[in-house]
Amino acid sequence: MMKGLKKWRLFSLLAVLTVFLAGCGQEELSTLLPAGQVGQDQFNLLLLSSAIMLFVILVVVVIYLIAIVRFRRSKLGEDHIPEQVEGSHKLELVWTIIPILLVLLLAVPTVYYTYKLGDVSAMGAVDDDGNPENLVVDVTAKLYWWEFEYPDLGIVTAQELVVPMDEKVYFNLLAADVKHSFWIPAVGGKLDTNVENVNKFYLVFEKDSKNLKDGVFYGKCAELCGPSHALMDFKVKTMPRAEFDQWVTAMQATGENQVVANPAGEEIFQQSCIGCHATSGVGETGAVGPNLATFGDRNRVAGFMDHTKEDLIDWIKYPQKHKPGNKMPGFDGQLSDSELDDLAEYLMGLSVEK
Amino acid sequence: MSSVAQKKGFGATLWDWLTTVDHKKIGILYFLGGGFFFVVGGIEAMLIRWQLHKPNNDFVSAGLFNDLITMHGTTMIFLAAMPILFGFMNAIVPLQIGARDVAFPFINSLGFWMFFFGGLFLNLSWFFQQVPDAGWTSYASLSIASEGHGVDFYAIGLQIAGGGTLMAGINFLVTIINMRAPGMTYMRMPLFTWTTFVASAMILFAFPPLTVGLFFLTFDRMFGGNFFDHTMGGNTIIWEHIFWIFGHPEVYILILPAFGIFSEIFSTFSRKRLFGYPSMVFATVLIGFLGFMVWAHHMFTVGLGPTANAIFAVATMAIAVPTGVKIFNWLLTMWGGSIRVTTPMLYALGFIPSFVMGGVTGVMQGAAPLDYQLHDSYFIVAHFHYVIVGGVVLGILAATHYWWPKMFGTLLDEALGKVTFWFFFIGFHMTFLIQHWLGFWGMPRRVWTFMDGQGWNSANLISTIGAFLMAIGVIVLVYNVIITSVKNVKVANDPWGDGRTLEWAIESPPIYYNFPATPLVRGLDTVWIEKMEGNETGLTPAEPIKDIHMPNGSIIPILMSFGLFIAGFGAMFRTEESWGLPVLIFGLLWTFVAMAARSLQDDTGYYVKKDEILRDLKRKGGQK
């Protein structure tokens, strides 16, 4: 009975905290609505630390309020000379030891989770047939876009990461120019993409992105990287493993037979764009511009603009206006309106999901 | 000297200020210089918040926004908070220890002018339209890639100003070690002197890494060095380590003097001895040590590996313990006291909840795996503003009101002071409390704009409104300063009536040699002890009145600093302008000539004669 009561109390405290912390935020990018084990672990740590810290704040505020109410000179009289107390060993011990205990209470799970979330030993493991046991994605951050290569599957995409649900997905992170930081707030904490060394970590995706407002999770660059740092967004699609396998098969097929929505547009693409952009998803990392094999399936143009033909044409004409400092030249004046129209139609038709 | 200052013409007064080596005047110079840059940094902050008050705002461009955040951070830390604190240290610490000046008055002046010219150099970047844009941290890959001379302005400007800071730190260390009045043992020093002492020791160890880092950066950008160029065998992570080995202690260099200020204020306006003085001192020293051992918590997401992250996480949490000790000691100082809520005390009372908030979010970020989420989000923006504004800036504002009479001889209007406080305090919490949630909701820091539909709109608007409330508070303060100076109602030695330390036993502002006779210190809060024993003056002299040796003023510090300022421009335009190299050489030569002049000059100072001191005493009504 007592034990049940205690549990109930703890539960209600946690529930209050949950409401307090999770009151707001949007599912596709809030750290307070974790969509996977890593984010959940971090959220638990947030709850624990918040509870401890709220306790500390409460104690301080209570002593503080009593002191400033009780010991005002207006109450005690102008001439009151208080006793000049030097200190109290007992009290000072109390407020040294209790904080130490509180810190330990937080330090133990902190160390545990640090090692747990830092464990990438299963990366690259193979089963008896020599097939990789885990999905590995190589992320390359560039000014101001993201390239995602699946080295074991021979495919590469950009701006929209596609991952299977309910398994550990391992990431190799690197920056191609200046330092960036890879962050999917709803799924788990960030890790920097350094210029000189590969960082490794894993994330677990436990929510299907289909049910979200835009059908994607939001990813962010979290390290100042230049003028358009704020616009260096990417999106994440999560799907059950079977669907993911279909997506991979379709991607692997983009090398040979591709649906061409507008042949004239394809021709313009071959003349003006192919130098930097590939339309085949087969390949490796290292392209000058984002891979466009799945362009028609994407949620945004350039990571942040509406996925409409008008916005796409505007982007092609004036990329520097929309994303200052990016590496794409503007095509205003170089392509006529009808050419841009054909090109946009062609790009919007590039799809592996339809 | 100061007694005849009012009769001097403008030119003579200006010359007096340019050549002064008097710690009180240098204190005022630091205060005014820092105050100016505080306003500049504040205007930058307002522009930042206005840009972010609604989604997709185009009030400033992406590049200009990065200029603004970089200059806001750099200005506020290096050119506002530190110099203003130095101002108080200069104005007050020698008085608190019963000294007539700092140990090296010439170097004190040189330190100020180097800060001033360094800050000027950095801010002239606005007029060249090549402004530092890599953040106040200037992480290497971005700062190397940054085009134009922006980051050069940052590196050279901070180098010059940083040299001044290092000199000031060494000067205070030597002053506090050597120049204490008889009886002023270490364990009788007022807490503000103690925190100045520890902060100065931290400057001594923290600024050399910054100097080295800035030289590396300068060499990389201007002379083809490859310290941070990974394609040439350099390493960008090294910059992050160097920067934070300086940067984290820097936070404590700022906050410790603020702790000292609040310790004085709590004790004075509770009319009670500081509770647990020895543990306060011990906690200060411990924070000073631990401050050097936690820098990598700024780098949890860099990929240092779980072992490094775990060690630095636990070390970071450990700092919470001595800081907590301080908070409880302040609370217990008030407990059982007789609290009078003056404007400085109001700031101190506002500081406790604000700083506790900033402290606990610091511990939360110390939990490394949680920090993976919070790092570089708006949560961290909220956290460090809670610490810096809720701690350092509230401390500075408290000290401004508290020591204004001692520095300027007048008392700031109490009613206006309280108006400033409430605008500033409410605005501060409105601006930054909500930013914790912006971080939780996935908003990264340093973004020049944000898209609609991410649930961030109203929180950002609230934050902007709060920022403008803070600005109103500062404007009221400026108005207060102006009308107080115009009215110019002089106050007595101890206008607060409850002064406990030596600065309150001498006139406001003190005469240029501070103490006619060096005082004898009989315990902690020596003035309080004297007063309780019936000695109205609060002072017992330790020596008879005799001639006083004083340093001469000198124009050389300003010339020396000016040479470096010129050389900075030469170095920057060395390759692209024909005048670059000659100007670089000319500037350095100028500085060397000034140094030689100082070295060869036989300046042994002068004596204030006993007769003059007695005359001064008589004019003041005599000393009992």
Chain B nearest C-alpha distance from A47 (Å) = 10
Contact flag B352-A64 (C-beta cutoff 8 Å): yes
> Is the pLDDT assigned to residue A17 strictly greater than 60?
no
Contact flag B62-A230 (C-beta cutoff 8 Å): yes
Q: Which residues in chain B have Cβ-Cβ distances shorter than 8 Å to A183?
A: 376, 444
Q: Which residues in chain A have Cβ-Cβ distances shorter than 8 Å to B313?
A: 107, 110-111, 114
For residue A238, the surrounding DSSP H or E stretch is strand A234-239
Q: Which residues in chain B have Cβ-Cβ distances shorter than 8 Å to A99?
A: 320-321, 324-325
> Is the pLDDT assigned to residue A174 strictly greater than 80?
yes
Chain A nearest C-alpha distance from B491 (Å) = 20
The model's pLDDT over B192-225, given as tens digits with 9 standing for 90+, comes to 999 999 999 999 999 999 999 999 999 999 888 9
Whether the ω angle into residue B509 lies within 30 degrees of 0, i.e. cis, is yes
**pLDDT at position B8:** 76
Which residues have a Cβ under 8 Å from the Cβ of B340 and sit 6 or more positions away? Answer: A72, A73, B269, B271, B498
Q: Which residues in chain A have Cβ-Cβ distances shorter than 8 Å to B455?
A: 24-26, 30
Contact flag B373-A92 (C-beta cutoff 8 Å): no
Contact flag B451-A304 (C-beta cutoff 8 Å): yes
Compare CB distances from B325 to A76, A96, A118 and report the shortest one's residue. Answer: A96
Q: Which residue of chain B is at minimal alpha-carbon distance from A56?
A: B360
Residue closest to A297 by CA, chosen among A235, A241, A245, A349: A349
**pLDDT at position B619:** 84
Contact flag B236-A196 (C-beta cutoff 8 Å): yes
Q: What is the rounded distance in angstroms from the CA atom of residue A248 to the CA atom of residue A155? A: 8
The model's pLDDT over B507-540, given as tens digits with 9 standing for 90+, comes to 999 999 999 999 999 999 999 999 999 988 889 9
> Is the pLDDT assigned to residue A242 strictly greater than 90?
yes
Contact flag A218-B454 (C-beta cutoff 8 Å): yes
ipTM over 0.95: no
The structure tokens listed for A240 are 């059950």
Tokens 């941070």 correspond to B228
Q: What is the rounded distance in angstroms from the CA atom of residue B318 to the CA atom of residue A14? A: 26
Residue closest to B423 by CA, chosen among B486, B347, B312, B315: B347
**pLDDT at position A247:** 95
Q: What is the rounded distance in angstroms from the CA atom of residue B188 to the CA atom of residue B199? A: 18
Contact call for residues A128 and A82 (beta carbons, < 8 A): no
Amino acid at A179: K
**pLDDT at position B251:** 94
Environment class of B171 (CB within 10 Å of its CB; exposed 0-12, middle 13-18, buried 19+): buried
The model's pLDDT over B40-86, given as tens digits with 9 standing for 90+, comes to 999 999 999 999 999 999 999 999 999 999 999 999 999 999 999 99
- Tell me the pLDDT of chain B averaged across its residues: 94
Contact flag B372-A61 (C-beta cutoff 8 Å): no
Tokens 């902050």 correspond to B45
**pLDDT at position A71:** 94
Contact flag A85-B356 (C-beta cutoff 8 Å): no
User: What is the mean pLDDT of the segment spanning B554-577?
Assistant: 94
Chain B nearest C-alpha distance from A129 (Å) = 31
Residue closest to A104 by CA, chosen among B507, B409, B363, B177: B363
Contact call for residues B163 and B169 (beta carbons, < 8 A): no
The structure tokens listed for A245 are 């396998």
Contact call for residues B29 and B36 (beta carbons, < 8 A): no
**Long-range contacts, B588-594 (Cβ 8 Å, 24+):** B588/B563, B588/B564, B589/B563, B590/B559, B590/B562, B590/B563, B590/B566, B591/B560, B591/B563, B591/B564, B591/B567, B592/B563, B593/B563, B594/B556, B594/B559, B594/B560, B594/B563
User: What is the mean pLDDT of the segment spanning A119-128?
Assistant: 90
Compare CB distances from B336 to A24, A85, A324 and report the shortest one's residue. Answer: A85
> Is the pLDDT assigned to residue A43 strictly greater than 90?
yes
User: What is the mean pLDDT of the segment spanning A180-188?
Assistant: 96
CATH class label, B2-554+603-619? mainly alpha
Contact flag A96-B369 (C-beta cutoff 8 Å): no
What is the percent of chain B where pLDDT is above 90? 94
The model's pLDDT over B285-335, given as tens digits with 9 standing for 90+, comes to 999 999 999 999 999 999 999 999 999 999 999 999 999 999 999 999 999
Contact flag A26-B62 (C-beta cutoff 8 Å): no
Mutate to test the interface with A, among B298, B339, B454, B460 (most CBs of A within 10 A): B339
Chain B nearest C-alpha distance from A343 (Å) = 27
Q: What is the radius of gyration, based on Cα positions, of chain B?
A: 24
> Is the pLDDT assigned to residue A1 strictly greater than 60?
no
What's the order of all strands across the beta sheet hosting A168-175? A155-158, A145-150, A135-142, A168-175, A199-204
Does the predicted TM-score (pTM) go above 0.90? yes
* CATH (residue range A2-74+88-117): 1.10.287
Tell me phi and psi for residue A260, to 5 degrees. Answer: -110, 110
* Pairing between β-strand A300-301 and β-strand B606-608 as defined by DSSP bridges: unpaired
Contact flag B373-A189 (C-beta cutoff 8 Å): yes
Compare CB distances from B441 to A24, A81, A175 and report the shortest one's residue. Answer: A24
> Is the pLDDT assigned to residue A5 strictly greater than 60?
no
Contact flag A324-B61 (C-beta cutoff 8 Å): yes
Q: Which residues in chain B have Cβ-Cβ distances shorter than 8 Å to A87?
A: 275-279, 329
Contact call for residues B364 and B370 (beta carbons, < 8 A): yes
Contact call for residues B77 and B136 (beta carbons, < 8 A): yes
Q: Which residues in chain B have Cβ-Cβ distances shorter than 8 Å to A45?
A: 367, 369-370
Contact flag B376-A181 (C-beta cutoff 8 Å): yes
> Is the pLDDT assigned to residue A23 strictly greater than 70?
no
* Pairing between β-strand A180-184 and β-strand A188-193 as defined by DSSP bridges: antiparallel
Q: Which of A230-244, A256-270, B90-104, B385-399 has the lowest mean pLDDT?
A: A256-270
- Tell me the pLDDT of chain A averaged across its residues: 91
Amino acid at B154: Y
Compare CB distances from A118 to B306, B341, B455 and report the shortest one's residue. Answer: B306
Residue closest to B604 by CA, chosen among B566, B550, B564: B550
Three-state secondary-structure class, residue B76? helix
pLDDT-based confidence at B4, cuts 50/70/90? very low
Mutate to test the interface with A, among B265, B273, B370 (most CBs of A within 10 A): B370
Q: In this structure, which topology does domain A263-349 adopt according to CATH?
A: Immunoglobulin-like (2.60.40)
The model's pLDDT over A69-104, given as tens digits with 9 standing for 90+, comes to 999 999 888 889 999 999 899 999 999 999 999 999
**pLDDT at position A4:** 54
**pLDDT at position B437:** 95
Compare CB distances from B373 to A82, A185, A195 and report the shortest one's residue. Answer: A185
Q: What is the radius of gyration, based on Cα positions, of chain A?
A: 27
In total, the C-beta contacts within 8 angstroms joining chain A to chain B are 295
Beta bridge partners of B410: B490
Whether the ω angle into residue A115 lies within 30 degrees of 0, i.e. cis, is no
> Is the pLDDT assigned to residue B1 strictly greater than 70?
no
Q: Which residues in chain A have Cβ-Cβ distances shorter than 8 Å to B320?
A: 99, 103
The DSSP result for A197-233, as a single string, is S-EEEEEE--S-GGGSSSSSEEEEE-S--SGGGGG--
Contact flag B331-A67 (C-beta cutoff 8 Å): yes
**pLDDT at position B5:** 45
Contact flag B237-A194 (C-beta cutoff 8 Å): yes
What is the percent of chain B where pLDDT is above 70? 98
Compare CB distances from B376 to A88, A186, A222 and report the shortest one's residue. Answer: A222
Chain B nearest C-alpha distance from A254 (Å) = 32
Taking the CA atoms of residue B543, residue B545, residue B547 and residue B552 in that order, the dihedral angle to the nearest 10 degrees is 90
Domain ranges of chain A: 2-74+88-117, 263-349
pLDDT-based confidence at A256, cuts 50/70/90? confident
> Is the pLDDT assigned to residue B623 strictly greater than 50?
no
Residue closest to B474 by CA, chosen among B167, B16, B43: B43
